[in-house]
Structure 1
Amino acid sequence: MKTDDLITVLARDSSPPWRFRPVLLAAICGSIIAAAALFFAGIGFRPDIAEALGSGRFLFKFVVTITLAVTASLAVGALGSPAGGVRRRGLLLAIAPALLAGAALLELAAIPQSQWGRSLVGHNARFCLTLIPLLAVGPLACFLAALRFGAPANPGLAGAVAGLAASGIAATFYAANCDDDSPLFVMTWYPIATMLVVLAGYVIGRKLLRW
């Protein structure tokens, strides 16, 4: 029997004590609660949150982070099955980066070149690289725990995408604290922080999700 056929049979015949999709939904809810608890307990909103809500650049950060959280969570759902893959979800995962890249290009066209470096560097890079991974710890644990109820064919990839989903949730909360609203800043520092979580998810997933 070919490996692909074996995986298909296992996926059809497996009868886990919990169906994966309800477990994943519970993990998403748990992820949001975990990130929210840490955010409100130790971080909180930026001081000028009321004024920031009137800024399109501030609100756009949430468009990007929520899009990432949703599309990556869908990809986690696909990878939780032995026959699952990210081919169908690959285009969805490209939506958030495409939105951010488009906004960055508009920003470059709208501001003088002399301000590009200042907008890119910002003044919260250190907090971004620290707080997004910190806020992602709980969500990553929830996604990895949910994947244990599935049977991912590629444990490392599943763990990495779990890290991507966790980062999307974490970045959504962090964006409410960060007062660097330039798409250039977001495009530079948010992905670096996200990759730290993705790498952790990959390493942990390879060991934890093997079956």
Structure 2
Amino acid sequence: MEIEKTMKIYPIECITPYHKNWVMKVRVIQKSPIRTWSNDRGQGKLFSMDLIDESGEIRATAFNEECEKFYSSIKVDEVYFISNAQLKTANKNFCTLNNDYEMTFGRTTEVSHCDEDSSEIPSITFDFTSISDVFKKEKDSVIDVIGRINFASGKSSYICPLTQKETIFRDIQLVSEDGTKKINITIWGNLVDDVDVVSKPIIAFKKVKITNSKVFGTSLKTTSASIIKINPKGFLPM
């Protein structure tokens, strides 16, 4: 707990690039897979994660050495103390969080697991769109949705023609509690293994994108920012 004793803890909403010597106490609500990048300046790898506390939310990204250092030790839904990360203006083309800033981990960034009571730090929150209202929204809108799995296809694979990388996916149909409203969702990548299709649970999706499928018409798909919760406490399908 040294990180807490030596620095004052600030809420996310109060931290700007002009603040120094701060610590934030945050919960990880989403962590992306490690991705590679390449441009004129070189190549490397990175991962990003979304963090929340009682005051707000912020995106953090770790590149190269910091990616290797922190990726395996940081777990979704756990609470951490973080300090000495660089803040900059958020790129809204890639980040939809409600914060003007985002963080980048550097060589001096410190991350310590919080082992004390963290009940004041909220867990993942949802702003659900009802299944019937999905069809009223514009294509490419990003929403939260909940329902019960009605049926699911087997796992399939897709090879990107540009990168030649193979990705697995699965199609499921989500149905409302009364069984009258249905929507199809394509789940991509690592999230496929997070879904128990056998017991047909209630499942909540955060940050899924509205698309127009040739097979299903208006439907949904997960993205790298999507989060899945199985049988979330306190929620019923809409």
Question: Do they superpose with TM above 0.5?
Answer: no
Q: Taking CA–CA contacts closer than 8 Å with sequence separation of 6 or more, which of the two structures ends up with the larger relative contact order?
A: 1
Q: Which has the higher helix share?
A: 1
**Smaller-chain TM-score bracket:** under 0.3
Q: Which has the higher strand share?
A: 2
Superposition TM-score, scaled by structure 2 size: 0.22
